[in-house]
Amino acid sequence: MDATTETPVGGVIVTPRRRRRRVRAGLAWFAVTPFAAWAVTRLAGLERGSFPAQLMTATPYAAAGSLLPMLLAVLSRRRAVVVVAAATTTALGLSVLPRAVADSGPASGERFVVLSANLFFGRGDPATVVDLVRRYHPDVLSLQELTPAAVAGLDTAGLKELMPYRMLEDDYGATGTGLYATRPVTPLTGSFQVIGHNMPAARLRTAGGAQVEIIAVHTMPPLGRQVTRWAGGLRALPSGPSAGPFRVLAGDFNASLDHAEMRGLIARGYRDAGDAAGAGLVPTWPFGKRVPPIITIDHVLADRRIGVRTYQVHDVPHSDHRAVVTELTLPS
């Protein structure tokens, strides 16, 4: 019987290398550059003119959107564009994310509640506003775009009995503004130059004996040529005191924490209640439109001696702004 010899088949098995997809450097730079410019403008406070001022309110969305150029930069595998993209996302993130972290300051002290609402040419539902007053028992109520008809409607809904003390500068259109309080108020004049809509200022003494100065703020919107008066109105507001009566600014600032003018005001002795309570990203405008609220331009600023316990935002039917209510603490 013949023996057969099996000869193994020789050879080398070659596995084809999978090619990783690579984004072109030009495309990555094209995506990163606008966000990098935005970050520089935001950090350096370089926005000038009406359109940049309006655009800057969208910084929280730019921070989130910068993650896509970051991904494209990584896929391009070009070190320079990756570094720029990472720096851009980090800068925008650090500008926005702290607003979601509470840093309320002094927690002990006398309770002092502030409610603020823009009534949209007086159309805001008076029953809703009065219901908020009944629910939260504010010491002070600041109302913007307060018309004579709105004053009558609020009193009919019960505000006259709940907050009988008032300093009103109601008017037709957007000009009118008013302050309501549960305790007697004394008008303050000459403490700052009013640029824009009416901005009544008053002083009151709390049940615990503390003196508080409250200003109902309503600056001009940064639209067209009004941007100069908008900036001037924010600069004209008084600084936060370090001694003497406490001071609170409440109203429609037509500015967000991404505006250099607003940050400059806060740097003069204030803290933003929404930011301090970790709710600084909750939008307040526009409400009741086809798009949901997207930007935060309604604020309560308290001088740095004052603590912030709570901060909430509430819808007001027929108004284009949401109301804000914050519980502050006045240290002894």
Q: In this structure, what are the phi and psi dihedrals at residue 266, rounded to the nearest 5 degrees?
A: -65, -35
> Cis peptide leading into 286, omega within 30 of 0?
yes
Show me where the domains of the chain are located. Answer: 25-99, 105-330
Q: How confident is the model at residue 131 (pLDDT cuts 50, 70, 90)?
A: very high
Stated as kind and residue range, the H or E segment containing 330 is: strand 323-330
Q: Answer with the residue of higher pLDDT: 11 or 181.
A: 181
Structure confidence by residue, pLDDT tens digits, 284-324? 999 999 899 999 999 999 999 999 999 999 999 999 999 99
Which residue's structure tokens are 């200022």? 201
Residue 99's pLDDT is 97
Reply yes or no on whether the pLDDT at 155 is more than 90.
Answer: yes
Picking from 182, 186, 187, the residue whose alpha carbon sits closest to that of residue 140 is: 182
Query: Rounded CA gap, 15 and 27, in Å?
Result: 32
Reply yes or no on whether the pLDDT at 18 is more than 60.
Answer: no
Residue 219's pLDDT is 98
Query: Rounded CA gap, 129 and 158, in Å?
Result: 10
Which residue's structure tokens are 């957007």? 174
Reply yes or no on whether the pLDDT at 37 is more than 90.
Answer: yes
Stated pTM of the model: 0.91
Contact criterion met (CB below 8 Å) for 53 and 230? yes
Question: What is the mean predicted confidence (pLDDT) over 246-259?
Answer: 98
What residues have CB less than 8 Å from 247, skipping those under 6 apart? 212, 213, 214, 215, 238, 240, 241, 302, 303
* Topology of the domain covering 105-330: Deoxyribonuclease I; Chain A (3.60.10)
Residue 332's pLDDT is 83
Residue 25's pLDDT is 86
Picking from 157, 232, 245, the residue whose alpha carbon sits closest to that of residue 201 is: 245
Which residue's structure tokens are 């307040």? 284
Residue 23's pLDDT is 75
Collapsed DSSP state (helix, strand, coil) of residue 87:
helix
Instruction: Assign 3-state DSSP to the chain and report helix, strand, coil percentages, each to 5.
Output: 35, 20, 40
Eight-state DSSP code of residue 277 = T
